Structure 1
Amino acid sequence: MPDNVIDFTTRQPRKRRPTRASQAIPIPHGAHLTQCLESWTLALESANKSPKTIRSYTDVARKFVAYLADNSLPCDAERVAAEHVRAFLVAERERTSAASADVAWRNLHVWFGWLCSDEIGERTTASPVLKKDRPNVPAKVRQYISPDEQRQLLATAAGKSFEDRRDRALMTILYDSGPRASGIMGVRWTPRDPGTHDVDLRGRRLRIVLKGGDELWLPLGATAAQALDRYLRARSGHSKAQTSPWLWLGIQGRNTSHMSPEGLRDMLARRAGQAGIRKVTPHDYRGTATHELLKSGAGKEAVQRILGWKTADMVDHYSDGLADERAREIHARHSPADRLGSAG
């Protein structure tokens, strides 16, 4: 072959250099949990969950993601395993309490249930939040407001001032029907607009919004209706009576046109201090009303509807603490030995 001709047929093909593992393009394992949390928050808001519920869910989710990152554990929807959840729950129990760890379990159970749903499908395997890993929380005695404590509270608001009439009406309604703080404080007073007016004094009922957005007509007994009527007369002389669309008005603070749930809690704490009894919260009234209604002979279904619960399980949840007391009173009325008569 002439010297000026290059033979391309004899050249060897150039070999590819092997790709190092560090240069390989990573294959995604699943959506990062931080992004999943953003999507879940939008879903919760779209489902009209309360801000308090959303905050509870998302706070736990953020703590879980932070725990995974701090311990170099997988942070995507597919690779999180049951042992990772279990370790997080143990850490939460040691950091706070078994009750807080139980809340974390319940919230993670809801989150991963959403991730595993057919609609979302971000996780193709079963949820890593297992029922067997739910923390065991020792049962504690629920705080109830005794009849004597309620009388002492009402005695602190026996005057004729606006504040006394308002507080007495609120404490009476809470004891009578046990509404949530957000529900009772969200009642509107718009007599000129029947569509938004939530007070039916003649019908002895208030329209309240339940957790989740459903509406309920809360029944009032004759005593509660009378206390509300006395408050309405006092309300008519309030400086914000003609401009505020809210039933419950304040007397101090930045917004006297609407007494808030926080204002209700402060009022109850103040009245308890004046009465010389333990601190009382709006939530204490929820269990108290349940117990008193059952004690007087109301059926579980009726109590469930009065308190605005979707399931009868909540009746047991709020009333079990005094079930023994109710059983003793029933026994006193139906004692077999008493019915048999004295043997002496």
Structure 2
Amino acid sequence: MPDNVIEFNPERRSRRRTSAASRAIPVPRGAHLNVCLDSWELALRAKNVAEKTFRSYTDTAKAFIEYLESNSLPCDAEGVQAAHVQAFIVREIHRTSPASADVHFRNLRVWWNWMCSPEIAERTTLSPVLKGDRPKVPAKVRRYITEAEQRRILATASSNSFEDRRDRALLTILYDAGPRATGITNTRYTPRNPDAHDVDLKGKRIRIILKGGDEHWVPLGAESVRVLDRYVRARSAHSKAHTSPWLWLGIQGRGTHHFTSEGLRDMLARRAELAGIGWKPTPHDYRGTATHQLLRDGASKDAVQRILGWKTADMVDHYGDALADERAREIHARHSPADRLAAGKPR
């Protein structure tokens, strides 16, 4: 062949070009995660998961897909590897917080367990979300509403107005039994339709819907019944009393027919500020407070689990252990060995 002629080998050039493209754009081996997400959303809706849970799951899935695509990583059910999940979690730890990254990790684990399940089988190997990769979240001391703080908050709702009657009833029930925000605010009041009526003052209880959709009767103490009965009388004079099926009614705006969980959170923040307690408790804080108070006063874990409406004792431990040190300090204050010695009390 002459020196000025360059040999052309189309097979070699094609092979080299394909190899470079493969490194830049991963060749999918399974269903694209966007399609898997669409199917998962259908499955979640079929299971009737709570709207907040649905958004949390899908937000995590979308964030993970965005991360994979923006970094030219495999974005299909077969191609994603444990290292890709690990890198995503590390990014979230630095971008937000370990607690937020932990939520993403738990959500991804649910999603991939669904994809790897026998009935779905979109992945032929094990889930890339490994148990040992869960981020460690530093433990924080959980706050609870003290008796003194609760008294100050209740004092801000001591008038005879509709708003004060409503807010005092809500504040008392939250402190008494710790129902979830959506559970308490979606309580129905339909005396003429007993099947949908959730208020049983004579039985000292109200019915709420739990996170998974189950019905649950929340027990009420005598004070909760008293202030709730007082609110019901004020409710009867409300303009929406005969048209709204909801127990809790608003006082302004277009949503007066239903006082929602968002309104509840705003109310708690406003009352705390008026009381000058220095922080703004949430419905979640009241849930932890009720757990702490019941355990402190000797209630069993099984009883607390049933009062709060949890299906297992794990959540009792989750809330209770956070304040176990506080209960231990109170016990020590009552049984201090040094105090006993100083007082000359025999053992």
Give the structure-2-normalised TM-score.
0.90
* Residue of structure 2 in register with 1:143 after alignment: 143
**In the aligned structure 1, how far is the partner of 2:245 from the partner of 2:149?**
33
**In the aligned structure 2, how far is the partner of 1:281 from the partner of 1:107?**
24
Pairwise CA distance, 1:313: 1.1
Unaligned runs of 5+ in 1: 1-16
Pairwise CA distance, 1:91: 0.8
Change (3 A) 1:27 1:276: closer
**In the aligned structure 2, how far is the partner of 1:321 from the partner of 1:74?**
40
Pairwise CA distance, 1:331: 3.9
- What pairs with 1:77-156 in structure 2 (closer than 5 Å)? 77-156=77-156
**In the aligned structure 1, how far is the partner of 2:89 from the partner of 2:161?**
51
**In the aligned structure 1, how far is the partner of 2:329 from the partner of 2:138?**
24
Q: Write out per-residue CA displacement over residues 293-344 of structure 1, whole angstroms, 9 at most, x where no aligned residue.
A: 001110000101111111101111112222122123334555678499637x
Contact 2:28-2:79 at 8 Å conserved across structures: no
Name the stretch that deviates more: 316-325 or 117-126: 316-325
Q: Write out per-residue CA displacement over residues 11-67 of structure 1, whole angstroms, 9 at most, x where no aligned residue.
A: xxxxxx9795679xx985111001000000110110010111011011011110111
> How many residues are aligned here?
327
* Residue of structure 2 in register with 1:284 after alignment: 285
Identity %: 69
**In the aligned structure 2, how far is the partner of 1:28 from the partner of 1:63?**
19
Contact 2:165-2:230 at 8 Å conserved across structures: yes
Pairwise CA distance, 1:255: 1.2
Q: Write out per-residue CA displacement over residues 101-148 of structure 1, whole angstroms, 9 at most, x where no aligned residue.
A: 111110001110101111110011111111111111111111211111
**In the aligned structure 1, how far is the partner of 2:39 from the partner of 2:290?**
39
SS in 2 for 1:195: helix
SS in 1 for 2:218: strand
**In the aligned structure 2, how far is the partner of 1:168 from the partner of 1:342?**
44
Point out 4+ residue stretches in structure 1 off by more than 6 angstroms.
none
Q: Write out per-residue CA displacement over residues 181-234 of structure 1, whole angstroms, 9 at most, x where no aligned residue.
A: 000000000000011000000001000000010010000000000010000111
Q: Write out per-residue CA displacement over residues 53-109 of structure 1, whole angstroms, 9 at most, x where no aligned residue.
A: 011011011110111111111000011000000011111111111111111110001
Unaligned runs of 5+ in 2: 1-9, 19-25
* Residue of structure 2 in register with 1:197 after alignment: 197
- What pairs with 1:18-37 in structure 2 (closer than 5 Å)? 20=14, 29-37=29-37
* Residue of structure 2 in register with 1:11 after alignment: none
Match of 1:342 among 339, 342, 345: 345
* Residue of structure 1 in register with 2:22 after alignment: none
Contact 2:27-2:74 at 8 Å conserved across structures: no
Pairwise CA distance, 1:288: 0.2
* Residue of structure 2 in register with 1:307 after alignment: 308
Name the stretch that deviates more: 201-210 or 234-243: 234-243
* Residue of structure 2 in register with 1:275 after alignment: 275
**In the aligned structure 1, how far is the partner of 2:60 from the partner of 2:113?**
15
**In the aligned structure 1, how far is the partner of 2:344 from the partner of 2:84?**
64
Give the structure-1-normalised TM-score.
0.90
Amino acid at match of 1:46: A
Amino acid at match of 1:252: Q
SS in 2 for 1:188: coil
- What pairs with 1:1-344 in structure 2 (closer than 5 Å)? 20=14, 29-277=29-277, 278-333=279-334, 338=340, 342=345
